[in-house]
């Protein structure tokens, strides 16, 4: 494991972590991502995967416009993101430029996939994501198979890499941008920090839960008072009724990658973090002890999955992911 200082150096007027984080998920950047991906001239194939145990997950496959792919990259979005998030499209565009085929996977209840499964998404549903990755590898036997994720998707990518050998998943390398390290500490940080971040995620999750209730009213008969709960209480409600965990602490512990939880990692991994990330506490990144050929890179700026380089909304993180995986 080597900790290095990233080469990302934004102009002075883009050094606010809040500007980075908010512009990173802005409608302007979403449109930029759509334009950049469209410019690759790759046809998109929508796919529904059998993820085992009756679970179906949705994704989008893109191949380079010309020639045989030099590899396949599986991309995982953050919580309440989707295959159409700006960073997903921009990363796919960069990898397509590098000659890779890409598969952007929606987690359960993300994007337009709420109708595929009656059960709710939660962050410990790693097994279905691993099984979906195995199915992608079978459908598209292009090698090497690599993977990348952002925020919660980075957490999933690293846990997937941890499970890859036992699952028979031929994963050659992973990259994670601002991965969620310690969920309990992240909840604390958001509750203490600027309220905009907590409100942003609450709004998107409530909208998702309303959609689920509309589609499966017999399984999900919760009332609007439940939806008005704040993040911690709403998460505790979900854990109690829709998971096998005894309490919120056990649930958070279930998908934590803090400390030495990645010590058994055998797949080479690159992890990028911003020192000014307003969502993921920096000290937990510094305390990560992944095994294998893991490399931690710390940038001074970047916010949470921002890393914007200019007002065209180009991002360092997408170039970084493509460069690490293509290597």
> What's the number of CA atoms in the CB half-sphere (13 Å) around residue 252?
16
Round the CA-based radius of gyration of the chain to a whole number and report it. Answer: 19
Question: Is the CB of residue 271 less than 8 Å from the CB of residue 296?
Answer: yes
Is the pLDDT at 2 greater than 80? The verdict is no
d(CA 55, CA 225): 29
Question: Is the CB of residue 140 less than 8 Å from the CB of residue 103?
Answer: yes
Is the pLDDT at 5 greater than 80? The verdict is no
Residue 304 bears catalytic tag: yes
pLDDT for 194: 87
Predicted model pTM: 0.97
Which residue, 123, 114, 119, 125, is CA-closest to 220? 119
DSSP 315: B
Residue 151 bears catalytic tag: yes
Is the pLDDT at 71 greater than 90? The verdict is yes
Catalytic residue, from 42, 85, 151, 256: name it: 151
Taken in order of first residue, the domains within the chain and their CATH numbers are 2-180+258-326 (3.40.50.1820)
Q: Is the dihedral of CA 99, 100, 101, 107 positive or negative?
A: negative
Give tens-digit pLDDT for 109-120. 999 999 999 999
Is the pLDDT at 79 greater than 60? The verdict is yes
pLDDT for 180: 97
CA angle 50, 121, 245 (to 5 degrees): 115
Residue 25 bears catalytic tag: no
Q: Tell me the average pLDDT across 5-17.
A: 92
Question: pLDDT averaged over the chain?
Answer: 95
Catalytic residue, from 32, 277, 284, 301: name it: 277
pLDDT for 193: 87
């Amino acid at each position: 494991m080597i900790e290095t200082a990233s080469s990302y150096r934004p102009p002075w007027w883009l050094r606010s972590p809040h500007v980075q984080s908010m512009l990173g998920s802005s409608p302007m950047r979403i449109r930029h991502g759509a334009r950049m991906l469209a410019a690759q001239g790759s046809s998109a194939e929508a796919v529904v995967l059998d993820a085992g145990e009756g679970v179906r997950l949705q994704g989008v496959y893109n191949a380079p416009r010309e020639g045989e792919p030099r590899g396949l990259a599986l991309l995982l979005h953050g919580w309440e993101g989707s295959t159409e998030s700006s960073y997903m499209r921009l990363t796919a565009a960069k990898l397509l430029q590098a000659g890779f085929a890409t598969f952007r996977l929606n987690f359960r209840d993300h994007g337009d996939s709420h109708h595929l499964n009656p059960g709710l998404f939660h962050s410990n549903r790693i097994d279905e994501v691993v099984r979906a990755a195995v199915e992608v590898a079978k459908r598209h036997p292009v090698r090497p198979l690599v993977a990348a994720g952002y925020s919660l998707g980075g957490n999933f990518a690293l846990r997937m890499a941890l499970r890859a050998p036992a699952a028979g998943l031929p994963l050659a390398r992973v990259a994670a941008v601002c991965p969620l390290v310690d969920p309990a500490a992240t909840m604390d940080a958001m509750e203490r920090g600027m309220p905009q971040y907590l409100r942003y995620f609450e709004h998107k999750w409530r909208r998702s839960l309303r959609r689920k209730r509309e589609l499966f009213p017999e399984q999900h008969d919760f009332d609007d008072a439940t939806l008005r709960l704040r993040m911690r209480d709403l998460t505790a409600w979900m854990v109690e009724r829709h998971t096998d965990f005894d309490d919120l602490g056990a649930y958070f512990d279930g998908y934590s990658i803090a400390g030495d939880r990645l010590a058994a990692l055998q797949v080479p991994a690159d992890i990028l973090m911003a020192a000014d990330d307003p969502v993921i506490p920096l000290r937990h990144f510094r305390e990560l002890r992944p095994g294998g050929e893991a490399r931690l890179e710390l940038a001074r700026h970047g916010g949470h999955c921002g890393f914007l380089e200019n007002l065209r909304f180009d991002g360092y993180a997408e170039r970084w992911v493509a460069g690490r995986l293509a290597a």
